[in-house]
Structure 1
Amino acid sequence: MTDTHAPLLQQAAAFHHQGQLAEAERLYKRILNRQPLHFGALYLSGVLALQKGRAARAAEAIGKAIRLNPGVADAHSNLGTALRALGRPQEALASYDRAIALDPAYAEAHANRAAALLDLGRREETLAAYDRALALRPDQPEAEVGRSRVLLLLGRAAEALAAADRALALDPGLAEAEADRGNALHALGRLDEALASFDRAIALRPGGAGAHANRGIVLAGLGRGAEALASYEQAIALEAGHAEAHANRANLLADLGRPTEALAAYDRALALQPGHAGTLCNRGIALADAGRHAEAVADFDRAIAADPEHVDAQWNRSLSLLVLGRLEEGWQGFEARKRQLAARTGQDVAREWRGEPIAGRRLFLDWEQGLGDTIQFCRYARLARAAGAEVILSVQAPLLRLLRQFEPEIRVIGEREVPERFDARCSLMSLPLAFGTGLGSIPTAPAYLAADPALRAAWAARLPPAGRPRIGLVWRGSPGHRNDRNRSMPLPALLPLLREEAAWIGLQRDLAAGEAEALREAGVTSLLGDAFADFADTAAVVDQLDLVITVDTSVAHLAAALGRPTWIVLPRNPDWRWLLDRADSPWYPSIRLFRQREAGDWSGLVEATRQALRQDAALSRH
């Protein structure tokens, strides 16, 4: 039968092809007013609606066209694209499958099918679909872009980079490919190159919010916080609903010590993505960093409700519970660290000791985390020995010589050693859970470590003579610690303390340029830290001091475990083990805690410590 509207349809299609969409749409409507079930006008008007971002209208028109003629592969493929835009990926996949059934060599349909599979989280199938599309027609830069994205999601960053490069070889002006190249380079740790790629992507398409947002991530990784913040804000200006940009802006504000602004940014991100587990977790961390731990626990609970396997939320929740003194609850969640931290030697979970009767069995206790953690928790090895276990304890190399004299009946081995035979195993920091430790049942003693007498005698000659109180100083911890910027004190802030009458002894290792000279000018004549071979030497000196004043680092644990008077100066938001709002520690009887009243206020804290020195009767008797 002759199509009386064919000339008009031809004219409409010509306008459509030339980009004159309004004219094309007018003619399609004219045909449909005369013949509502005209396949060509329905189908092409649907394609036009799709181009104009009217996905619902497109799906309706193309769906009607398909019911008139179900044998057109293009129609099924375009219906799939409309359904994807409407957030209906399963139906979109079915449409692409019908297109491919009609035309198995339809490369674009295979690429579109891959995109729908990715929407559904079926990553391996997505990669296979892109591979098929490119095998049929290798000159598809958009398919290479999609392939790059799924490879990156599969953790195959080097292959993702190669795919992005192939897309750019096919179309050097493809902004999406340049942006994906930046994402792959970022994953490979090649941050400067990643930044250059994002800059090119933005030059190609300045309005691409995603490129600005990801550029911000790279800048933050390069330590260029102000520029990163500007990139996030540009992304948000371009796309106010870009939840990831809001969330990353919030993370950066938290890192920059701007908690009020960070929390407001997290709230905006959560308004856009309610219940997003990662954002809830990071908001909880920001609350914890601000010392608002009860509120932080509530956010971590919401994150875990949204994603029960969210390890970071479980881990950080445990830290807030511990600092609140809710130890029994805290130890349970503290076990999440085993999934968060990389295993060193491989944990045999089947033989992990959880507190069951252990008498007559060989128990391997292995160290983890920092030197201070090993000092704090090695006390539990004695409890295990008292419970009848044969105990083997592994410790880090700097502690080996000291802890080998810890307990004659406990075998102490090196950090990389694993016993040939053991019946059960437990990480050192899981022992409080195994023993059911609560705030009132922490195993404590005036001292549980001892210095080597021979080393004491050897170091005695290097100490100032008796007369004035001998006070050891540590003002900086390991720079690799995640909270070191808050817990370590700049040396100039410490110097006013040295005006007090005492024999000041530097225990700090790895002195920075100019520190030795500044300390000597302030009256410190004994700088011993860099002469210590390990903690056995440190213990031999500390055991002969009247007081140790230190930031929160391993020497604090060592001095307290030796039973020496130990004053710890703490940041406003302390590590979990020092709890909140108390001057003593249930872990160590000889500790006195000094706390910042305001974040970063070291000068006020040093002044409070000076006043305490003047008032301390035991020190004034020297």
Structure 2
Amino acid sequence: MNPQVGFLLNKALEALRSSNLDSANLYLEQAIRFQSNNPHALRLLGVVAAQRGKYTEALEHVKKSLKHLPKNPLALSNLGNIYLALKQYQNALEAFDQSIKLDPSYYEVWTNKGNVLHELELYEDALICHDKSISLQPGYPEAWTNKGNSLYELGRYELAIEHHNNALTLKPDYYQAWTNKAIALFELGLYEEAIEHCDKALLLNPEYSEAEWSKCLPLLLQGDFQRGLPLYESRWRSGKITAPQDKRSFDKPTWFGAESLQGKTILLYGEQGLGDYIQFCRYAKLVSDLGARVILEVPPALKSLLANLEGVSQFVTKDDPLPEFDYQCPLLSLPLAFKTSIETIPNVVPYLKQEQISDKLQEWTHRLGIQTKPRVGLVWSGNPRHKNDRNRSLLLSEMVPHLPDRFEYISLQKEVRAVDQATLEANPQILNFAADIHDFSDTAALIRGLDLVISVDTSVAHLSGALGKKTWMLLPYVPDWRWMLERADSPWYPSMTLYRQSAKGNWGEVLKKIHSDLIEMNQ
């Protein structure tokens, strides 16, 4: 190797170790001028590009490096990491396997492979890879915290914390591990400790959005909107709950409450799930009350339901050409824009009015027939793709024994999982209209004909609350932030009662309380 190239590569490595990407890139570009096909310089250029989030450029550099030095386990590992960042998991696995075949003792690539398996939700397989990495190099902190993350997904939170502690013992300034440990503490209900750990991470790296996000959740859950809502904006950077591509790219500024909207036009648009949309579309009227003309972008599934939402001047769907507007704001940023506190939550219900579904009411009244018993709607599971589904959903078979027969039960599930279908068929007393529910206006009209809705945390619960219907919500031990802690009511929905797990995974106690309250309701 050209001595000058070797010198520049060493300087680039020193710069990379101190996270000085600009200097590293400068040294590498100089090395390339001396030797344009040097595989080590090309590989490191890929590493720099990847650390800057320029994954297409990184891919090009690393592939060029491998063209000149195809049996380089380091480059193959780098290639796998780039594919992992691009969510091309099968390509990543192939690259890591090739690297391992060339050098089975390469401990870093084992935990990298574990990270791919983690993303594929093959957590037990991921643990095997992380353990292999740790056995090869017990002093590698990344393997310990990566294993902790997989243990977390398996619900083994205490053991996850032990592994994050091992990582922090090895590397006390490991801000990612401080955050990972905070996430596990949060799931155990240790909210103040979780906040403290996020603060340590942010002290080490004030720009670390994952720590901001992980801090905002316990703050909001405890009702600290003043500190929590500004941090909630980190959702766009962390990608934890709202995909970055969901944040629309407009040439108009985002409105956060500072500018006057008198005589202005603003576009409001949704993000996350349909339940979030139903909950936060209430803010459209507040925006309109400031003198703005409100354009609301609605999902097709909610278009007919929201057709007459108060405060909205014009409705569009995502694929429609957008009219001219002066400002824009995602719906879940409106609580921050209005400096919402628990006391100032706009909670006048119903804000979804009967006239919005009047054409469906008669149809569903006829379909339900003559009422002979109090009618109760049931929702026992949500979207199976939701990250927290394992905690917030339950089986219909768990619920059925706690439903007294003095009521008429109606399933409000649009989709029934295979595991629940047999239970539903074996219990004909639970009426199932899934085939007749075409959109949320059908669900709303059906809810109007009920006396009570019992639901886990899903969009149907939000719909029922927005309609002002009496609603009993079943919540996991660590609920979503909007339901807060240690209260049976919701400041978002006055007609809602919250039933909380007292221990993680314990639905039995919640369902016994539901049973006794149903009996009392029909005395």
Written as runs of structure 1 = structure 2, the 5 A alignment for 1:172-211 is: 172=71, 174-211=72-109
Equivalent in the alignment of 1:283: 181
How big is each residue's C-alpha offset from its partner over 1:322-372, in whole Å with a ceiling of 9 and x where there is no partner? Answer: 110112222222222344433443145645241544333333322222211
How big is each residue's C-alpha offset from its partner over 1:277-298, in whole Å with a ceiling of 9 and x where there is no partner? Answer: 2222222222222222222111
Q: CA 1:317–1:190 in 2, change beyond 3 Å: closer, same or farther?
A: closer
Q: 1:457 aligns with which of 338, 350, 362?
A: 362
Equivalent in the alignment of 2:334: 431
Equivalent in the alignment of 1:469: 374
Q: 1:577 aligns with which of 461, 482, 495?
A: 482
Q: 1:128 aligns with which of 22, 25, 29?
A: 29
Per-residue deviation, 1:544: 0.9
Q: Is 1:593 matched up with 2:498?
A: yes
Q: Is 1:605 matched up with 2:503?
A: no
Q: CA 1:276–1:348 in 2, change beyond 3 Å: closer, same or farther?
A: farther
Per-residue deviation, 1:257: 0.7
Q: Which amino acid aligns with 1:296?
A: A
Q: 2:395 aligns with which of 484, 490, 493?
A: 490
Structure 2: runs of 5 or more not aligned: 239-243
Q: Provide the C-alpha distance between the structure 1 equivalents of 2:59 and 2:237, rounded to a whole number of angstroms.
A: 26
Q: 1:323 aligns with which of 216, 221, 230?
A: 221
Q: Which amino acid aligns with 1:186?
A: L
Q: Provide the C-alpha distance between the structure 2 equivalents of 1:321 and 1:162, rounded to a whole number of angstroms.
A: 45
Moved more, 252-261 or 198-207: 198-207
Per-residue deviation, 1:466: 0.7
- Secondary structure of the residue that 1:342 maps to in structure 2? helix
How big is each residue's C-alpha offset from its partner over 1:266-317, in whole Å with a ceiling of 9 and x where there is no partner? Answer: 1221222223322222222222222222221112222222222222222232
How big is each residue's C-alpha offset from its partner over 1:443-473, in whole Å with a ceiling of 9 and x where there is no partner? Answer: 2124221232221001112215311111111
Equivalent in the alignment of 1:306: 204
Q: Provide the C-alpha distance between the structure 2 equivalents of 1:142 and 1:419, rounded to a whole number of angstroms.
A: 49
Does the CA contact (< 8 Å) of 2:293 and 2:313 recur in 1?
Answer: yes
Report the TM-score, using the length of structure 2 for normalisation.
Answer: 0.89
Written as runs of structure 1 = structure 2, the 5 A alignment for 1:108-507 is: 108-119=6-17, 120-122=20-22, 123-132=24-33, 134-135=35-36, 138=37, 142-143=40-41, 145-153=43-51, 154-155=54-55, 156-163=57-64, 165-169=66-70, 172=71, 174-340=72-238, 341-348=244-251, 350=253, 352-407=255-310, 410-417=313-320, 419-451=322-354, 452-507=357-412
Equivalent in the alignment of 1:528: 433
Per-residue deviation, 1:228: 1.5
Q: Provide the C-alpha distance between the structure 2 equivalents of 1:391 and 1:194, rounded to a whole number of angstroms.
A: 45
Q: Is 1:518 matched up with 2:423?
A: yes
Identity of aligned residues (%): 36
How big is each residue's C-alpha offset from its partner over 1:529-549, in whole Å with a ceiling of 9 and x where there is no partner? Answer: 342221111111111101111
Does the CA contact (< 8 Å) of 1:508 and 1:530 recur in 2?
Answer: no
Q: Provide the C-alpha distance between the structure 1 equivalents of 2:429 and 2:28, rounded to a whole number of angstroms.
A: 65
Q: CA 1:376–1:180 in 2, change beyond 3 Å: closer, same or farther?
A: closer
Q: Which amino acid aligns with 2:221?
A: V
Per-residue deviation, 1:255: 1.3
Per-residue deviation, 1:114: 4.0
Q: CA 1:161–1:223 in 2, change beyond 3 Å: closer, same or farther?
A: farther
Q: Provide the C-alpha distance between the structure 2 equivalents of 1:226 and 1:402, rounded to a whole number of angstroms.
A: 43
Equivalent in the alignment of 1:36: none
Does the CA contact (< 8 Å) of 1:560 and 1:566 recur in 2?
Answer: yes
Per-residue deviation, 1:418: 6.4
Does the CA contact (< 8 Å) of 2:59 and 2:79 recur in 1?
Answer: no
Q: Which amino acid aligns with 2:217?
A: L
Moved more, 385-394 or 371-380: 385-394
Q: CA 1:573–1:287 in 2, change beyond 3 Å: closer, same or farther?
A: same
Higher relative contact order (CA 8 A, sep 6+): 2
Written as runs of structure 1 = structure 2, the 5 A alignment for 1:6-21 is: none
- Secondary structure of the residue that 1:365 maps to in structure 2? strand
Q: CA 1:158–1:592 in 2, change beyond 3 Å: closer, same or farther?
A: same
Q: 1:615 aligns with which of 504, 520, 523?
A: 520
Q: Which amino acid aligns with 2:116?
A: V
Moved more, 190-199 or 302-311: 190-199
Does the CA contact (< 8 Å) of 2:189 and 2:478 recur in 1?
Answer: yes
Q: Provide the C-alpha distance between the structure 1 equivalents of 2:15 and 2:34, rounded to a whole number of angstroms.
A: 13
Does the CA contact (< 8 Å) of 1:144 and 1:167 recur in 2?
Answer: no
Per-residue deviation, 1:184: 4.0
Q: CA 1:429–1:302 in 2, change beyond 3 Å: closer, same or farther?
A: same
Does the CA contact (< 8 Å) of 1:247 and 1:279 recur in 2?
Answer: yes
Does the CA contact (< 8 Å) of 1:362 and 1:392 recur in 2?
Answer: yes
Does the CA contact (< 8 Å) of 1:464 and 1:470 recur in 2?
Answer: no
Moved more, 251-260 or 304-313: 304-313
Report the TM-score, using the length of structure 1 for normalisation.
Answer: 0.76
Structure 1: runs of 5 or more not aligned: 1-73, 78-98, 101-106
Q: CA 1:309–1:227 in 2, change beyond 3 Å: closer, same or farther?
A: same
Does the CA contact (< 8 Å) of 2:284 and 2:310 recur in 1?
Answer: no
Q: Provide the C-alpha distance between the structure 2 equivalents of 1:543 and 1:459, rounded to a whole number of angstroms.
A: 9
- Secondary structure of the residue that 1:462 maps to in structure 2? helix
Q: Provide the C-alpha distance between the structure 2 equivalents of 1:378 and 1:535, rounded to a whole number of angstroms.
A: 15
Does the CA contact (< 8 Å) of 2:229 and 2:335 recur in 1?
Answer: yes
